[in-house]
Amino acid sequence: MKFTLNIWRQPDAVTAGKIHTYELDEVSEDMSFLEMLDVLNEDLNAKGEEPVAFDSDCREGICGSCGLMINGEAHGPEVTTTCQLHMRSFKDGDSITIEPWRADAFPVVKDLVVDRGAFDRIIQQGGYISVNTGAAPDAHATPVPKDKADRAFDVATCISCGACVAACPNGSASLFVGAKITHLGELPQGQAERDTRVVNMVAQHDHEGFGGCTNIGECTAACPKEIPLDVISRLNWDLHAALRHGK
Amino acid sequence: MPDTTNTFDASHTGRLDDEYDDAAGYYVDGDPIADTKAPGGPLEERWDTRQFEARIANPANRRRLSVIVVGTGLAGASAAATLGEAGYVVKSFCYQDSPRRAHSIAAQGGINAAKNYKGDGDSVFRLFYDTIKGGDYRARESNVYRLAQVSRNIIDQCVAQGVPFAREYGGLLDNRSFGGVQVSRTFYARGQTGQQLLIGAYQALERQVAAGTVKCYTRHEMVELIVVDGRARGIIVRDLVTGEIETYFADVVVLANGGYGNVFFLSTNAMGSNVTASWRAHRKGAYMANPCYTQIHPTCIPVSGAHQSKLTLMSESLRNDGRIWVPKNKADCDKDPRDIPEEDRDYYLERIYPAFGNLVPRDIASRQAKNMCDEGRGVGPEVEGVRRGVYLDFEEAIGRLGRDAIENKYGNLFDMYARITGEDPYSVPMRIYPAVHYVMGGLWVDYDLQSTIPGLFVTGEANFSDHGANRLGASALMQGLADGYFVLPNTIRDYLAEGPFEKVAEDDPAVVEAQESVRSRIHQLMNTNGTRSVDSYHRELGNIMWEYCGMERSADGLKKAIDLIRTLKQDFWRNVKVLGAAETMNQSLERAGRVADFFELGELMCLDALNRRESCGGHFRAESQTEDGEALRHDDTYAYVAAWEWAGADEKPVLHKENLTYEFVEMKQRSYK
């Protein structure tokens, strides 16, 4: 297969970037999207041009490192992570535009690499249950109804890749925050801090420059783990409850 | 191609003669070592004894005691969080953009714990026994018993953190049996137990960041260890965004940098997983133990072409229902498997091991798959002249149980396979091939998890301590969290009780030397201006390791590998091409530094394998097999930990032996025929 690749190149956070165009031959349909970029980089290296920087680590769709806007879609045309997208999803001769996540709260570091540190800072504001090591009761002390445990798991599958933010016209991270609020809020262990958690995490979300949610739903459509939109309802419900409780 | 049924030489079986020293001339004999920190007495009281005897750092002093933790996987994040909670000043480093992305996240299966919630006869002693036996009698009894003891606390801790383990309808935790053990002791969170446990540890870590006890340095890679007056006192890191070389000091350094399976280039490790932190410590005096102990997993998705960047593992539960076969005739290897009639198929595991069939242990399944492909009977695409794949066929299981039942059991795995290969495993047999998955070897540590450098502690996969020559399924997560939450915080305090140590001067000769060596190494990599890319070297190194230091090893092959690696390493330093600048994000430079260390590690792995003339745990030495071609261990000669000391770049490594003695478990040879 043969492709024309339009790739965002930006030397660092402060220098303006622009699209460069590369032709790439001899791509196999069994290559993952990132392996295709590996081949491009070997090519560029051989020609004396600096390879394209992009994030990836596990390449199994679970670490959340990778994430590219591919032809304007977060993670490309399939519901999966960029590393699990394969070239058979494209047609021979296609032109593919590759850009970094687009969001004010995710500044570009270099080429296709962005800074998602804002997610860590949101978690710092309450995305946890406060229990010191060694202070836990027996694991069977508190049964958890299976439907609640399953729901907590379903939303805990979020990999913090940031596709929701990149896909949202408002650059909102409500799906990310809602997933954590729901995960911990479904469990009995998470109740003690439920009010303060939502208030503090939302405040940090806004402080980081993420936009508000206007129920567009692009986030859940782009989410490789298919986190449902209703976690944002849960987020709003919990936030209102917390405000009613005077938090 | 070594054919295990034909190369058998009767003179090599039974008791091994002491005169064998395959590695003679490659190494120097050193003094034996002992794990001096392990208390004696009854097995079940040793950990309590050590915890009591380990001094406690005065709480008022802790805010003046600093700890560096390298790595944020299960072993690193849990240690950093727990030490932060105790009040120490913690600095946590990772090369990823967030601590939550460390490769523990990719573990699928589960985590073992001796809770006996099923009432099926499990106990601390049984988990201990299974782990010692699974490790083929090459792990320490004291360490493994402690691991089994604290396994129970891990589950309590994780549940309290909100880890969403699978539960039964009554709301209690579900368990499953895993990896052929006879009790159900594995806790799991669907197919992503690693991610859920890591998120738990990550959240505990971020909580301490908010509390001000931990500072996280993401996108920072450790490139050197600082040893002052014989103690580990700091690290040098490269800021992967700015390229800046930075120096950090502390009273103690903890390495939790994971495993080095990427020395094989293709493995199930993450792209960035590397040995550099460990190797830099090794070069500064930390012994490397059993580096050749590698675990190879039989059910991975095969390589599809020369572009392959990594391998993906599928749960080996697939072998419960799938039947493994290759064509009897080489001429059939490129045919559609559905057109190959039953009589022309060789269900080789069922043929060779009628009692266990497709459920033989990982190493046997892996080795036989390689043998079939080496014979020219592999299937799938031809990559560099060989077809490396065997069929895992569900046709019979679908016929017996129905498609729905198979979909319920393995649906997510089938989907993953279809996504990666573009083939539908419900109608076409899957193709599988073994891949490097985990390393049991690592830096030598004593019972306190302290290396041979005072003040340098090592946790998780980065140390060698608990799995012997092979690791049981669902035990990697257990060990990482045991070390980080419960063991290290209780042993490191004994060392820290002596602190705070005298402040290290910025211009201390040891510091300046370390900084200089980092700068000169980077300078050399950036200015070689050769013609070959870093990846091409890494791929070639991986091929050598896989061919000669993989599942089956021989003295001749290993010696050849050592020569090949030395030549390749020389060429690398003369001809590598790294573009861009060092003072910016430069992913080629990051990889170049890692590959440079992999060369040296690879050579030591081959040497360790050469020295160990026995088939043990996950490895098969061609010279050490029974009459019917099965693995033969030699307890009389090799019941020891091989701890290697770095002697210098052009010097022979020094071998220190730690003898293993078994007071509570009787050593037995395994048999699967």
- Indicate which residues of B carry an active-site annotation: 362
Cα Rg of chain A (Å, integer)? 20
A&B contacts, CB < 8 Å? 216
Tokens 């059991």 locate to: B409
Report residue B5's pLDDT band, with 50, 70 and 90 as the boundaries: very low
**B262 lies in some domain:** no
A72 and A158 part of one domain: no
Q: In chain A, what residues touch B172 (CB-CB under 8 Å)?
A: 140, 143
A125 and A238 part of one domain: yes
The torsion of the CA quartet B116, B120, B122, B123, rounded to 10 degrees, works out to 70
For residue B428, give the CATH number of its domain: 3.90.700.10
Token duo for residue B424: 């539908």
A146 and A239 part of one domain: yes
**Final residue of a structural domain among A61, A88, A110:** A110
The C-alpha atoms of residue B289 and residue B458 are separated, in whole angstroms, by 12
Tens-place pLDDT, residues B606-625: 999 999 999 999 899 999 99
B422 and B304 part of one domain: yes
Q: Which residues partner with B116 through β-bridges?
A: none
For residue A124, give the CATH number of its domain: 1.10.1060.10
Domain residue limits at B511: 10-22+506-639
The C-alpha atoms of residue A32 and residue A209 are separated, in whole angstroms, by 33
Tell me which residues of chain A have a pLDDT lower than 50.
Answer: none
Q: Which residue, among A172, A33, A31, A2, has the nearest Cα to A98 in the 3D structure?
A: A33
Look at A136 and B81 and tell me if their CB atoms are within 8 Å.
no
Non-local (6+) Cβ contacts of B24 within 8 A are none
B314 and B410 part of one domain: yes
Tens-place pLDDT, residues B435-449: 999 999 999 999 999
A127 and A196 part of one domain: yes
Q: Which residue, among B163, B164, B175, has the nearest Cα to B114 in the 3D structure?
A: B175
CB B185 within 8 A of CB B115: yes
Using CB atoms, which residue from B195, B206, B577 is nearest to A124? B206
Tens-place pLDDT, residues A66-122: 999 999 999 999 999 999 999 999 999 999 999 999 899 999 999 999 999 999 999
B398 and B517 part of one domain: no
Number of domains in chain A: 2
**B549 lies in some domain:** yes
For residue A22, give the CATH number of its domain: 3.10.20.30
**Final residue of a structural domain among A77, A110, A143:** A110
Number of domains in chain B: 2
Tens-place pLDDT, residues B481-522: 999 999 999 999 999 999 999 999 999 999 999 999 999 999
The C-alpha atoms of residue B552 and residue B540 are separated, in whole angstroms, by 19
The model carries a pTM of: 0.96
**B248 lies in some domain:** no
**B148 lies in some domain:** no
Stretch 201-230 of chain A: residues touching chain B, C-beta under 8 Å: none
DSSP tally for chain B: helices H, then strands E: 17, 24
Q: Is B320 helix (H, G, I), strand (E, B) or coil?
A: helix
User: What would the mean pLDDT of B579-598 be, rounded to a whole number?
Assistant: 98
For residue B629, give the CATH number of its domain: 1.20.58.100
Q: Using omega within 30 degrees of 0 as the cis cutoff, is the peptide bond preceding A224 cis? A: no
> What pLDDT, on the 0 to 100 scale, is given for residue B3?
36
Look at B309 and A160 and tell me if their CB atoms are within 8 Å.
no
Look at B101 and A30 and tell me if their CB atoms are within 8 Å.
no
Look at A187 and B169 and tell me if their CB atoms are within 8 Å.
no
B432 and B528 part of one domain: no
Stretch 158-197 of chain A: residues touching chain B, C-beta under 8 Å: 159-160, 183-184, 187, 189-190
B511 and B425 part of one domain: no
The C-alpha atoms of residue A231 and residue A217 are separated, in whole angstroms, by 12
A101 and A165 part of one domain: no
The values of phi and psi at residue B295, to 5°, are: -105, 130
**Final residue of a structural domain among B437, B452, B470:** B437
A104 and A12 part of one domain: yes
Q: In chain B, what residues touch A204 (CB-CB under 8 Å)?
A: none
A80 and A47 part of one domain: yes
User: What would the mean pLDDT of B321-342 be, rounded to a whole number?
Assistant: 95
B555 and B424 part of one domain: no
Token duo for residue B362: 């990982």
The values of phi and psi at residue B431, to 5°, are: -115, 135
**B253 lies in some domain:** no
CB B481 within 8 A of CB B78: yes
Here the ipTM equals 0.98
CB B390 within 8 A of CB B326: yes
Closest residue of chain B to A147, computed from CA coordinates: B169
The values of phi and psi at residue B488, to 5°, are: -55, -50
> What pLDDT, on the 0 to 100 scale, is given for residue B13?
41
Question: Does A31 lie at the interface with B, CB-CB under 8 angstroms?
Answer: yes
A97 and A151 part of one domain: no
Cα Rg of chain B (Å, integer)? 24
What is the CA angle B388-B390-B396, rounded to 5? 165
**B591 lies in some domain:** yes
Q: Which residues partner with A86 through β-bridges?
A: A32
The C-alpha atoms of residue B222 and residue B258 are separated, in whole angstroms, by 13
**B379 lies in some domain:** yes
A122 and A208 part of one domain: yes
Q: Which residue, among A58, A29, A77, A236, has the nearest Cα to A160 in the 3D structure?
A: A58
A85 and A121 part of one domain: no
Domain residue limits at A167: 116-244
**Final residue of a structural domain among A84, A110, A136:** A110
Token duo for residue B176: 């499953």
Q: In chain B, what residues touch A127 (CB-CB under 8 Å)?
A: 203, 206
Q: Which residue, among B485, B514, B426, B418, has the nearest Cα to B158 in the 3D structure?
A: B485
**B122 lies in some domain:** no
pLDDT of B320 > 90? The answer is no
Q: Which residues partner with B443 through β-bridges?
A: B288, B463
Tokens 């931990």 locate to: B214
Burial class (CB in 10 A: 0-12, 13-18, 19+), A212: exposed
User: What would the mean pLDDT of B77-98 be, rounded to a whole number?
Assistant: 98
Terminal C-alpha separation, chain A: 58
A120 and A102 part of one domain: no
Tens-place pLDDT, residues B376-399: 999 999 988 899 999 999 999 999
A68 and A10 part of one domain: yes
**Final residue of a structural domain among B437, B455, B489:** B437
